[in-house]
Amino acid sequence: MQPENALWTEKYRPSDFSEIKGQKEIVKRVKAFVEQQNLPHLLFAGPAGVGKTSLSLVIAKKLFRDLWRQNFLELNASDERGIDIIRNKVKDFARTRAIGNVPFKIIYLDECDALTREAQQALRRTMENYTQTCRFILSANYSSKIIEPIQSRCVIFRFKPLEKKDIFAIIEKIADDEKIKIDEKAKEALYEISEGDCRRLENILQSSAAVTNHITEDLIHSTASIAKPKEVKEVLELAISNKFIEARNKLLDLMLNYGLAGIDIIKQIQKEILELSIDNKSKMLLIEKCGEIEFRMTEGSDEFVQLEALLSQFALVGNY
């Protein structure tokens, strides 16, 4: 099949409240605000790819109908994060009245936790001064990075990663619409790799579907550049069995075959530690070592040296 020119993320973006997956309570409360046409300032907090932007667009479409584009301003604060944007672009849009029957416009600030503190202070004043003509929807991965005065002016909704049943429902809808076959193991792999991030799920699935209409577990792992859990577990078991050189060679092969960076494989190793047949104390020690090695990598240490050091810890645990 030929993939769409536009990303599936845009193609499958919901246009109704019923299409938002995994955030039932949030949708219920927001829908009540929309039906009353009495929207407060909102702060959507949570991880990437769980529906924050999609819900904001649904709010605008339901409130303004055909006029939603004229009454809705979307800005990505990670690109436009200075005080001038708040003083000029945001303020100019906020001070004019809405077109249509709804008495206010909506400004959606994506990734607003990237705004500088000065810009957030300016935003606070804008939210105060133009409440009659404008409502703000702020989206952030970390609500703690938003200054307290802004948080106190908003109703805060905390989004959670999508559950397995929600991810599977999205996979099945895409499979039906795009006429592709997805194996059960491939669905499981997609759920594990996406970690509840719908955007990542759709991007991996689109990349895989560009290769073939039959999506398998191997194809998913290859596309996502993620080693299979059982292969990572084999490396760890070799190290614990005191076969350090074999474990080292297999780990290097995995990294080369899948194009993995050290920081990626560390996260997979940490997950597989819990599945090993060793006592809980050893598991805790090894997880602690994973955290230490990951920190060293982020500080710029050589990833191969650090991974060898981590494997040596597994070998030492196996000797006790």
Element (H, E) at 226: none
User: Which residue among 224, 250, 266 closes a domain?
Assistant: 224
Total-model pTM: 0.80
Query: For residue 93, what are the β-bridge partners?
Result: none
Report how far residue 5's alpha carbon sits from residue 196's, in angstroms, rounded to the nearest whole number. 25
Residue 257 lies in a domain: yes
Predicted pLDDT at 11? 67
User: Do 143 and 175 fall within a single domain?
Assistant: no
Q: What is the domain extent for residue 187?
A: 164-224
User: Do 212 and 112 fall within a single domain?
Assistant: no
Residue 174 lies in a domain: yes
Q: How many domains does the chain have?
A: 3
Q: Which residues of 66-80 are buried (b: 16+ CB within 10 A; e: fewer)?
A: eebeebbbbbebeeb
User: Do 234 and 252 fall within a single domain?
Assistant: yes
Residue 247 sits in a domain of what CATH number? 1.20.272.10
- pLDDT tens sequence across 275-304: 888 888 999 999 999 999 999 998 988 988
User: Do 282 and 245 fall within a single domain?
Assistant: yes
- pLDDT tens sequence across 153-199: 999 999 999 999 999 999 999 999 888 999 999 999 999 888 889 88
Residue 14 lies in a domain: no
Instruction: Tell me, rounded to whole angstroms, the distance of Cα 207 from its chain centroid.
Output: 18
User: Do 136 and 42 fall within a single domain?
Assistant: yes
